[in-house]
């Protein structure tokens, strides 16, 4: 049963310490001082509100309590900056669904009205921490939920879970052509996907309160994720935040049926866990189309182990870098003859290798130094791998140039395009005084990660460039609090040409459907997959041979 309806307002029940004001003195006015009032209070026997009120979209607090309002117009949604709204002690019987569009609201007081039901759209107010409903004749269903412990959040979740979802799915993302394919020499044209699928244990209501709980569940999201992977059907698929159990029980079986093989490694913490705990640790995976590529060898890059091995007495290296267990995963492939799609077959003595890597760099913006160092360690490890492969595939070469081995580098680098991480990858160098190092003492620890004679600069030897370099994607990660580019695909400039990329989600659809952030019932992750079409040209026949022991021991 619900509590009997009461119109009497308890004394001092709604005292609000925030509602304080100062009056500008005549001296201030004479001096030309400007006033700023982000809060507005209208109290009396008001029955109607002026349309001019809805033009005051700078307001952060609006107090309309203790009036005779019988309705709130839908235009209130124009006050998009509101964090506090009090319409207590009025005569409201209904609320406009548009109230749910003010997602910045943290307090909504509706006490002592005539409300029996609430629009499901109120469930979209995921930032709301205080919802006042006392003194309303709420339906028994709503009242029971609201009366429970943590009732505000449970009620919001109930409303959001029952809110109808627009039936229109996002339009197809456009394909953006960048270069035409080669027609005059043998070349391998292949596609690459880079996708952070959002691990199940991170997909919580606390993190993504704007998404219905049923759409956050792994059983629901995994179908959408796999549908995207199948739809784009890339030849090399680089995934991050893949849970160990899901790799073996879901991704690998599903993609094997599509003609893929795959490799995986969880984050380093898995080594210290029990078997039951280990299966929920996320990591990185690489899938490859078995008809186009043969796996020669796989490599795990553990940043915490590298930090410990290269600390050189640096407390910062041990306390900041070693404590983060992010990883990189690399695979050395041989390209099969069936991968040459332009009708020109390579000569028999070709055994073209390609080195593919996926990585998931530390997430916290406060640890930009850790992100940069993890990336430097990754490139150093890739150098070692490429050097080993170069000696196998080019044994007669006098100069072992690691750029002989085409490199494909994908990942969630958790770094914006203007960061030290992306500067280092794109240009091949970063200053030792770069602000991302944050004045921590890393100099001695980073000596081996330098490939030039400069004393205050760190470099890597790979000549790589990134796809999506012309502002095609305004963001690859889309949440309420953050929207930006943090996912990347890099490739070797010497061997590989970028033919095209998959464009962004339709901005008009996002706006029309009021997508506060992702995941969303139609978008299964908070990251959007990157899809790139690349062309790899073969070297001259005299420079590359098939080693007798091509398939190395894994």
Q: Would you name the residues annotated as active-site residues? A: 412
Q: Which residues contact 17 (CB under 8 A, 6 or more apart)?
A: none
- Rounded to an integer, what distance in angstroms lies between the CA atom of residue 365 and that of residue 137? 47
Mention every residue, 6+ apart, whose C-beta is less than 8 A from residue 358. 194, 238, 239, 240, 284, 285, 286, 328, 329, 330, 410, 411
Strand, coil or helix: 476: coil
| Alpha carbon 489 to chain centroid, angstroms | 15
- The token pair at 93 is 């019987």
Helix axes 140-147, 151-161, angle to 10 degrees: 140
CB-neighbour burial class of residue 326 (10 A; exposed 0-12, middle 13-18, buried 19+): buried
Quick one: which of 242, 241, 486, 189 has its CA closest to 354?
Answer: 189
User: How wide is the angle at C-alpha 192 spanned by C-alphas 425 and 349, nearest 5°?
Assistant: 95
For tokens 């043998």, name the residue.
186
Environment class of 119 (CB within 10 Å of its CB; exposed 0-12, middle 13-18, buried 19+): middle
Please report the beta strands in 80-167, taking only residues with DSSP state E, as ranges in sequence order: 84-86, 107-109, 130-132
Report CA torsion sign: 210, 212, 213, 217.
Answer: negative
Preceding amide of 519 cis, omega within 30? yes
In DSSP terms, 195 is beta-bridged to 239
Residue-by-residue DSSP string for 322-388: TT---EEEEEEEEE-GGG-TTS-PPPTT---EEEEEEEE----GGGHHHHHHHHHHHHHHHHHHHHH
Distance separating alpha carbons of residues 286 and 264, to the nearest angstrom: 7
């Amino acid at each position: 049963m619900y509590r009997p309806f009461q119109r009497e307002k308890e004394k001092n029940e709604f005292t609000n310490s925030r509602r304080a004001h100062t009056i500008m003195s005549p001296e201030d006015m004479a001096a030309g001082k400007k006033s700023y009032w982000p809060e507005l209070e209208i109290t009396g026997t008001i029955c109607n509100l002026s349309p001019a009120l809805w033009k005051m979209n700078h307001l952060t607090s609006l107090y309309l309590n203790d009036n005779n309002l019988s309705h709130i117009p839908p235009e209130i949604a124009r006050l998009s900056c509101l964090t506090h709204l009090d319409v207590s002690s009025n005569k409201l019987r209904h609320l406009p669904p548009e109230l749910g569009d003010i997602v910045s609201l943290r307090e909504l007081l509706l006490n002592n009205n005539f409300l029996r039901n609430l629009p499901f759209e109120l469930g979209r107010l995921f930032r709301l921490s205080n919802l006042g409903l006392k003194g309303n004749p709420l339906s028994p269903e709503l009242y029971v939920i609201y009366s429970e412990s943590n009732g505000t959040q449970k009620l919001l979740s109930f409303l959001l879970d029952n809110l109808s979802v627009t039936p229109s799915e996002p339009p197809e993302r456009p394909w953006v052509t960048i270069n035409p394919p080669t027609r005059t020499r043998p070349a391998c044209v292949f596609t690459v996907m880079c996708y952070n699928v959002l691990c199940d244990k991170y997909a919580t209501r606390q993190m993504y309160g704007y998404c219905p709980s049923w759409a956050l569940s792994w059983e629901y999201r995994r179908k959408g994720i796999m549908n995207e992977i199948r739809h784009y059907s890339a030849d090399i698929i680089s995934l991050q935040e893949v849970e160990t159990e899901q790799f073996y029980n879901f991704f690998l079986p599903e993609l094997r049926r599509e003609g893929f093989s795959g490799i995986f490694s969880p984050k380093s913490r898995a080594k210290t866990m029990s078997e039951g705990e280990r299966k929920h640790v996320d990591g990185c995976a690489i899938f490859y189309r078995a008809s186009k590529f043969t796996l020669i060898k796989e490599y795990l890059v553990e940043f915490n182990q590298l930090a410990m091995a290269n600390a050189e007495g640096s407390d910062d290296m041990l306390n900041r870098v070693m404590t983060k267990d992010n990883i990189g995963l690399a695979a050395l492939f041989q390209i099969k003859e069936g991968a040459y799609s332009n009708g020109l077959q390579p000569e028999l003595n070709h055994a073209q290798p390609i080195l593919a890597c996926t990585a998931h760099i530390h997430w916290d913006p406060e640890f930009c130094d850790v992100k940069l160092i993890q990336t430097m360690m990754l490139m150093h490890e890739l150098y070692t791998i490429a050097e080993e492969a170069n000696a196998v595939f080019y044994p007669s070469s006098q100069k072992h140039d690691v750029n002989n081995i085409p490199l494909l580098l994908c990942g969630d680098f958790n770094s914006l395009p203007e960061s030290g991480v992306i500067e280092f990858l794109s240009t091949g160098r970063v200053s030792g005084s770069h602000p991302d190092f944050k004045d921590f003492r890393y100099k001695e620890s980073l000596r081996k990660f330098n490939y030039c004679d400069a004393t205050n600069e760190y470099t890597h030897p790979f000549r790589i460039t990134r796809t999506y370099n012309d502002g095609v994607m305004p963001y690859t990660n889309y949440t309420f609090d953050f929207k930006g580019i943090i996912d990347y695909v890099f490739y070797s400039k010497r061997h590989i040409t970028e033919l095209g990329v998959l464009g962004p989600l339709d901005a008009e659809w996002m706006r029309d459907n009021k997508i506060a952030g992702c995941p969303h019932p139609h978008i299964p992750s908070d990251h959007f997959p990157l899809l790139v079409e690349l062309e790899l040209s073969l070297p001259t026949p005299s420079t590359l041979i098939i080693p007798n022991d091509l398939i190395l021991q894994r």
